Structure 1
Amino acid sequence: GSLAISRKAQRGRQFKLAAAVLAGILLVVALPFITQTLELQMATARLDSNRAMSAEAHEDQAVVVDFENRWGPINDFPNQDVATAMFRLQEVLAGEQLSSLELSEGLIRIQGTSSDPQAILQRLEQDPMFTEVVFSRATSNTRYYIDLRLATVNFEAYMVRYFPDKT
């Protein structure tokens, strides 16, 4: 009987050892998942904390965006600097007759009489304040019709930015 008892005890120890080894293997296999779960919970807690701390900043940002949306079309309206443009035209057209002048959205249309309309066109083209200088209609020897744009005024970009459905 003592041999049977000793074998039974040996089997019990082997069973306990196998159970301990199996539990150790299961723990090693499950450890990455447990670690990942804990890290996910900590990251979620940090995210919630950061969201709570940034809520006020998001509200402030929304106020700024709303302000820009309401006041942007007014604040960013292109400045045509009409006085400077008129003084510059006066310099370029000195001694020439001007019979009509229109200024709208950065486009200037002038017409008048001159002994050399081509010279007026060339002087306007060379002036950095003006761009897209062209004869707008057929010009006689003394009569000119010229369209030009203020170089610093871009109404098209303004309209696209603030009124995209109207362009």
Structure 2
Amino acid sequence: MSHMIEINAEYWLVHTLWPIARAAAGLPDDAPIDEAPPAPEQNDGSADLARQYAIDLPLLGAVMLACELARTPAAATLGRHIRALIWRDAFALASARDLVVSLGMAGETWDEMTDRHIAAIEVWERWTATNDAVEAERDRFLADCADYAFEDGAFSPEAP
């Protein structure tokens, strides 16, 4: 059973979650899966807000689950890539928001920063637009895993 789940998890990551992430990140269909973008520093002042944006995204949890279950170097590489894309855009939104709020608290406005914030919101909305699809795909994946367990007799009285 566990071997089938590992295979299914890697397939789910590569053929379902990666296309969803790639589209949300605005990457072309032929984007390489082994070239992660540089990720912003996770200890910057906007990191806490960026972390909150990222963890609220079902795609992040789904990717982490798939990588944990697949247990292959290729899955780990792709998982890092997707997490870097999510972090890049979550951090861009958080830092743009923090700048606009700080300027507003000082009674200042700066059109360039406001435009940057609006652009970051639009990018992040592509990520949040994936929520329903990711949740549906996650449910299908978990149902497949349960099916493997039944096929393998995991629920018989003799199962460990």
For this structure pair, what is the TM-score category when the shorter chain's length is used for normalisation? under 0.3
Task: Say which structure is richer in strand.
Answer: 1
Larger RCO (CA within 8 A; separation ≥ 6): 2
TM-score scaled to structure 2, two decimals? 0.24
Q: Which has the larger radius of gyration?
A: 1
Task: Say which structure is richer in helix.
Answer: 2
